[in-house]
A and B are shown apart, each in its own frame.
Chain A
């Protein structure tokens, strides 16, 4: 079946099977580098995207369900090739080592701060609990989110 959706601001049309996940379509069919397969069961958050401003594990989302919707990956946070303030904070705090978990971490931080511009430490830990990191370590990531929050 053909579906169409806005991917990081661009309209795309793609032929999908009803059982294809959004992750599969984004990586295998559209060749995106900004979403990653990590677990396939919503445990690690490496495949995170925003669908109409709601966080989604793209491995747990059928591609057909985003028809006519807006899908944003971390690449979509750039404007005019300029990093968003949140992305800049991740850079300043060295909050990425291998980088595989980073897109998911940035997107969850964005979703959190959009709703709650000055979260407590507890709220940051709780929001990020669905995203795993194995090499950067959570300390610089949490520091980046805190520094991006309104104090």
Chain B
């Protein structure tokens, strides 16, 4: 059957919403409005780390049109972790902080008012007395003995194992890193002809969707709540809101219509929980529209990542073994980072067959805005480091880097770093195709190879 006989495969299909897009008929959350709807603005922390001494609302409350100021005490169950539904724990993030702030811009309290400007004016009048504490802003500093611990459990790392990460059984040992190991890595290094080391840094990246975060929550007299949000993960929103409100998930309906770009920025339930609490407290629909500034400084970013790779190489160009240490900057709270670290760590072999390995992935907490998923979460960062390292290793051995990749590419019937058998390897075929497209003439002995 040739490609032309398929309805979809090999065809460029029209975006099903495009006629609405070009006529401006597509409804994003911003045009959703209800009679009596109120607006939220947050009072945000001016410092990356500090103790909240006193919050003085008296001036803000006097502004006509201010309906309510929402604080931690209004939240039935304040602490949550985004991936609780996947078994990740413990809950480490407050909906609204009780006594301390952990990143610059963290929402301290919410002003609910008749319109956006009134809420903003009143938020500017809330006086917060914060005792600034020395912040931890660098991952390596955070890991040093004696570094100020920003987590209540007394360290700056997420504990993997023991069933806390959603990936390991409860009986597995707890460690300050996620561990992937296979074979005998020390033996591989003892047998090495060459050893190549490299350290790779990936900066945080802001998704910058054109539509900033926006959410409307509408409570009903029955006790049910509808949340309109451009989320990428409606079930995460539903479950987390149910947890923090202490109500059954069946009482919550999450509507996620058109999303004006997200790229991972809208996968974390973050402000939806704050909007839900506000709506339940005031008993009226409420809306929160983040500004572009908030989108940049408060919403998640791709994590900053540092990857150290060390390879044991044979004379013929085979990777005998690899040691890797990955530091992933989660920012102040776990969000989806434990999952991201697991994804990164299991991918540290890249698409290459490495039989002896030891990979440690650290989920490090710092006083920075929380990081989370972004396109190719965990894999993009690692691919960048691994492919640069492949070039470096090939150079050190004096082998052409195409050849080096062909030698080490996964073949069928090999196993991945985590021991999963491979029966669909296509790297060699893809590399041949890519070389042809790039005008690179590969030698005949490589062109003869297959997966």
Contacts and interface: CB of A to CB of B under 8 A. Distances in A.
* Complex contact flag A–B (Cβ < 8 Å): yes
Interface of A: 19, 27-28, 31-41, 43-44, 46, 73-75, 77-78, 83, 87, 90-91, 94-103, 106, 132-135
A102 B258 contact: no
Contact of A134 (B12, B26, B208, B258): B208
B448 interface: no
Contact of B15 (A34, A94, A100): A94
Nearest to A103: B24
Given A99-B17, A101-B210, A132-B210, A90 B259 contact: no
Nearest to A32: B31
Contact of A78 (B18, B23, B211, B259): B23
A100 B260 contact: yes
A74 B22 CA distance: 7
Nearest to A133: B210
Contacts of B209: 98, 100, 134
Given A31-B31, A74-B24, A98-B21, 17 more contacts: A36-B210, A39-B292, A40-B291, A41-B292, A46-B210, A74-B22, A75-B23, A90-B21, A94-B15, A94-B18, A96-B15, A99-B17, A99-B22, A99-B258, A101-B210, A102-B22, A106-B22
A16 B168 CA distance: 58
B15 A33 contact: no
A76 to B, nearest CB: 9
Contacts of B28: 33, 36, 100
Nearest to B32: A31
B288 to A, nearest CB: 13
Given A37-B30, A99-B260, A94 B12 contact: yes
A134 B263 contact: yes
A130 to B, nearest CB: 13
Contacts of A97: 15
Contacts of B24: 32-35, 73-75, 102-103
Given A36-B28, A46-B210, A102 B21 contact: yes
A98 B292 contact: no
A36 B291 CA distance: 12
A73 B22 CA distance: 11
A106 B113 CA distance: 36
A41 B296 CA distance: 14
A75 B30 CA distance: 17
Q: Range of interface residues on chain B? A: 20 to 34
A38 B14 contact: no
B163 to A, nearest CB: 37
29 contacts: A28-B116, A34-B23, A34-B25, A36-B260, A37-B289, A38-B212, A46-B211, A74-B23, A75-B23, A77-B23, A78-B23, A91-B18, A94-B12, A96-B17, A96-B22, A98-B21, A98-B210, A98-B260, A99-B17, A99-B22, A100-B28, A100-B210, A100-B211, A100-B261, A102-B24, A103-B22, A133-B210, A134-B261, A135-B263
B348 to A, nearest CB: 29
Contacts of B201: none
A103 B212 CA distance: 17
Contacts of A36: 28, 30, 210-211, 260
Nearest to B24: A34
Contacts of B17: 96, 99
Contacts of B19: 83, 91
Contacts of A90: 18, 21-22
Contacts of A73: 24
A99 B21 contact: yes
Contacts of B2: none
B33 A31 contact: yes
Contacts of B14: 91, 94
Contact of A33 (B12, B27, B263): B27
**Top 7 A-B residue pairs of the complex, sorted by shortest distance between their CB atoms:** A34-B24, A99-B21, A100-B260, A96-B21, A74-B24, A39-B292, A75-B24
A58 B222 CA distance: 40
B433 to A, nearest CB: 22
Nearest to B293: A40
B209 to A, nearest CB: 6
Contacts of B26: 33, 99
B250 interface: no
Contacts of B4: none
B20 interface: yes
